[in-house]
Amino acid sequence: RKLTSTWKLIKVPLNPPTVFRNMMSNAILMNLSGMPIRRIMSNMYKATNEMIAYKKGDMANSKHYKALLDRGVADTSFTEAELFRWAEDFKEFTTERSINELGILSWMHLKGWRRFASAASSVMGKTAMAIEMMENQNKNADEAYLIANDALFDYSLVPPVVRGLRTSPIGIPFLTFMYKVIPKLIDVALNNPFRFAPYVAM
């Protein structure tokens, strides 16, 4: 389990192309879940600012992010559900080195990458989705949390067979995304097929 978790750590949050692909897939899933394309980038920007504000203790400017945290959004992310605490400790160890240990260029690279990878997480996308729901579609915090979790998936909510396969070295390490996204795409195809139009056009 720890070896699989570490392998995923290297393949996802510490891998720049994967982080970029995840940001793009999150944006597409938010659009398929009802967020207009024109507001995706602005909502993601707002979400990032809210996460930064929260870390600084500025609760007034992080209300959507805080509302999701209060409802347990951090426990539903890929990082928490699939990388586990051991890998988080490893990630912290590799990114919390001092300037004297690493040299200024390496230190700046690791610090900057850690922030970028964190910002690209599903929690940021869920916060952006919550902002859209609460600010533009008149949803309350509970409704926004459920919609955001549906749009970008609750990685903790899977049957035992999926949990076993994704954590086993002889299994399907990224099964959760496939397990979650296929029903989502079928649902959109049946109920809102025109949401696929921009992607078919591209």
pLDDT at position 85, please?
A: 52
Q: Rounded to whole angstroms, how far apart are CA atoms 149 and 146?
A: 5
pLDDT in the model for residue 55: 85
> Could you tell me the two tokens for 156?
């903790």
Residue 80 above 60 pLDDT? no
pLDDT value at residue 114: 55
User: What is the per-residue pLDDT across 124-133, written as a single tens digit (0 to 9) for each?
Assistant: 899 999 999 9
Asked if pLDDT for residue 15 goes beyond 80, the answer is: no
Percentage of the residues of the chain whose pLDDT score is greater than 70? 77
pTM (predicted TM-score): 0.76
Least confident of 84-88, 103-107, 125-129, 192-196: 84-88
Q: Which two tokens stand for residue 187?
A: 């649902």
Q: What is the pLDDT of residue 27?
A: 93
* Beta carbons of 176 and 80 less than 8 angstroms apart: no
